[in-house]
Structure 1
């Protein structure tokens, strides 16, 4: 049964939570610079109010929950979201926050359900542990999407690097056949059908319509996604476009160095995996040795 001390602890926790929410409402706002500049950009500032309302109403429940969380919860005090990883995975910030809130709700509900199941089988713990476990589960699950996004972005960067090496070879072949810098980059981007080639083709097409040089567009994409290899390609193509330099050998050397680095990384990962696999084998050998030696040791001790 719930004692008066447990009730007092729960009441105190609820009062402290309420006071902290009131204090948060009156504290000075900490505006995130990237979000503020995005809201002040021409595309956002020229949007009509009815379009903004439609944008807020669009999406599924996760998107709407994320927009509500960005308006109502002190998310800026928890640090900035991983913008580069989200941009690479093409996940909107409001959807990312929506997933975090959904995971937090699940983390808060799961301990309560486990306590109910345990009490049904007669293994229930004191109910004072329920709010503690619920808060711990909500906090732990709230930060789980951060790990998922960073892990997926790490795999996507590896895939981008492998595809970029092939793209650089295609650009070099197009330049060697007499195509101009922009034409070579656009033709090479339209050859492949992977998401990397489609992303490059979209960026190059956008730069054509906006009048931006293609190497500046790739440089901007490199800074946005955190891809230094793409910045190197942009610098090489800048030399070709602005100074008329012959970059065929430079591009081939760059793609070869990227493949060599990828091969070395794969070999290092394979060696690390092999070392991890040797640990259970060694442990198994020690167990067999212990089984063989134990009878003799017991006889010596008994003697």
Structure 2
């Protein structure tokens, strides 16, 4: 009976894996934005339009990353959240995909190697164990870069939001000093050479060169980095761009809101840390009580 149940379980898992593989290889429906972006990239790289093709990567890792990226585009997998995290960290999408693939392959090789060590210790001899270890280790190693990128991007977004709050105060002060909105936005971004203000300054400079309004460029930067505050700022500036008093009031209130939110997050983090310390102290006290009661309990029960 146990053999039949085990065979059914293995068959079901294998069938589910085959279905997932077939579903992954089938091209899914892409959004219109992805399709238009692909057409624009092909048109820009076409010699008939005078565009220059992208340089062909020479090393193996770059070629692997470009091939996997092309496969993602073909399947319609946009991965907007992950791309935004990589944009915050200023990392390449192709390099990230190549790292994931290489780590996944290393995990598949590491699984049987781990089984060899377990087999030498005499803890397992079933032939199905190395297969499961290879699959599990491959999946874990494949997902490790995602976890690292999301953790680092979350920390960097906190710093960026803190800088944006100060940046809004600086813009409001420049507007109060009599500067226009474009000059105030650029002057506030030039007070420091930190990475956050550098991204904002480069965005404003590109907007000036291309003839795009600066608040539209800030909205695109917020969409690229996954920062809602920049997108809301873009909408606000577009609505009240012609009224300096309303702009100052709006920026000041938005900066104050961001500061209150940051203080609330800091207080919540401090509360979580204090609760963790309380739990650790309770466990330490419980262990000390067990250490004191154990000899007396052994005497009472005559063990």
**TM-score range normalised by the length of the shorter chain:** 0.7 to 0.9
- Structure 1 residue 262: Cα displacement: 0.8
Report whether the alignment pairs 1:301 with 2:301: yes
Aligned residue number for residue 219 of structure 1: 219
Aligned residue number for residue 37 of structure 2: 38
Aligned residue number for residue 61 of structure 2: 62
After superposition, give the CA deviation of every residue in 1:117-167 in whole Å (9 maximum; x if it has no partner).
455667674454222211111122212222222212211210110111111
Q: Is the 8 A contact 2:115 2:133 kept in 1?
A: no
Alpha-carbon separation, structure 2, partners of 1:220 and 1:79 = 17
- Structure 1 residue 40: Cα displacement: 2.0
Aligned residue number for residue 160 of structure 1: 160
Aligned residue number for residue 3 of structure 1: none
Pair 22,275 (structure 1): closer, same or farther in 2 beyond 3 Å: closer
- Structure 1 residue 22: Cα displacement: 9.9
**Which deviates more, 122-131 or 160-169?**
122-131
Alpha-carbon separation, structure 1, partners of 2:213 and 2:147 = 36
Instruction: Show the 5 A alignment for 1:209-288.
Output: 209-288=209-288
Structure 2, gaps ≥5 residues long: 1-10
Alpha-carbon separation, structure 2, partners of 1:21 and 1:296 = 60
Alpha-carbon separation, structure 2, partners of 1:239 and 1:259 = 23
Give the SS at the match of 1:191: coil
TM-score by length of 1: 0.80
Q: Is the 8 A contact 1:215 1:237 kept in 2?
A: yes
Pair 147,236 (structure 1): closer, same or farther in 2 beyond 3 Å: same
Alpha-carbon separation, structure 2, partners of 1:238 and 1:35 = 26
Pair 205,173 (structure 1): closer, same or farther in 2 beyond 3 Å: same
**Which deviates more, 200-209 or 221-230?**
221-230
Q: Is the 8 A contact 2:44 2:52 kept in 1?
A: no
Q: Is the 8 A contact 2:189 2:198 kept in 1?
A: yes
TM-score by length of 2: 0.80
Out of 18, 37, 45, the residue aligned to residue 47 of structure 1 is 45
Structure 1, gaps ≥5 residues long: 1-11
The alignment's C-alpha RMSD in Å is 3.4
